[in-house]
A and B are shown apart, each in its own frame.
Chain A
Amino acid sequence: EDQVTQSPEALRLQEGESSSLNCSYTVSGLRGLFWYRQDPGKGPEFLFTLYSAGEEKEKERLKATLTKKESFLHITAPKPEDSATYLCAVRENTGNQFYFGTGTSLTVIP
């Protein structure tokens, strides 16, 4: 069965303390891997799409990377406003269905 697993479940960082979030996946054929940010009570906000192993995308303090089995979201020198839940999702080669991980809740302490 297709599966997306994110770790850690929760992460507390001091402001400026860089770290990485992990998303591991098992799907029969990956069409795309997606990272979203979600603030409490709001819809997920799209961050990145990664299509193939070795690909990297960057946006401000965030950098997403992809291997054949997992993706990392690297957060460099985080600020309190980066506090949110980060969701990973994958889409298979066939169909329109997205499979979500359970998310990592990030708290950045000033």
Chain B
Amino acid sequence: DTEVTQTPKHLVMGMTNKKSLKCEQHMGHRAMYWYKQKAKKPPELMFVYSYEKLSINESVPSRFSPECPNSSLLNLHLHALQPEDSALYLCASSQGGLAGYAALEQYFGPGTRLTVT
């Protein structure tokens, strides 16, 4: 099973709201990612968790707050977003670490389409 699930599929929120995006995988992957994707652009990395610890934060504004409660779950907490934050938010997972040639590819979820009004 190579499935990554994301909820909700669609989210509309005002600039003063607080909401959370959720991601789950059961592949035993120890690296999990959040990406932001605008139309006709490639995914843009936001955060990487490796073994439940934040390892990469690509200078993302503090209105985005990631959380990794356990090795299968990844959340993205949203607060006081701006209209330009409207995008497709993608979660992905991969095998973490540097050992050998285990399958390294990322598997993506279907995404959450976020609209900020």
Q: Which A residues lie at the B interface, using CB under 8 A?
A: 31-32, 34, 36, 41-46, 49, 51, 87, 89, 91, 93-98, 100-103, 105
Contacts and interface: CB of A to CB of B under 8 A. Distances in A.
A46 B107 contact: yes
Given A34-B104, A101-B42, 18 more contacts: A32-B105, A36-B108, A43-B92, A43-B110, A44-B90, A49-B103, A49-B104, A89-B106, A96-B31, A96-B33, A96-B94, A97-B45, A98-B33, A100-B42, A100-B43, A102-B42, A103-B42, A105-B40
Contacts of B96: 96
Contacts of A36: 108
In this complex, the member of B2, B33, B48, B108 whose beta carbon has the largest number of chain A beta carbons within 10 angstroms is B108
Given A96-B48, A97-B45, A101-B42, A41 B105 contact: no
B45 A98 contact: yes
Interface in B52-87: 55-56
Contacts of A103: 42
A45 B108 contact: yes
A46 B45 contact: no
A96 B102 CA distance: 13
Contact of B105 (A42, A46, A87, A101): A46
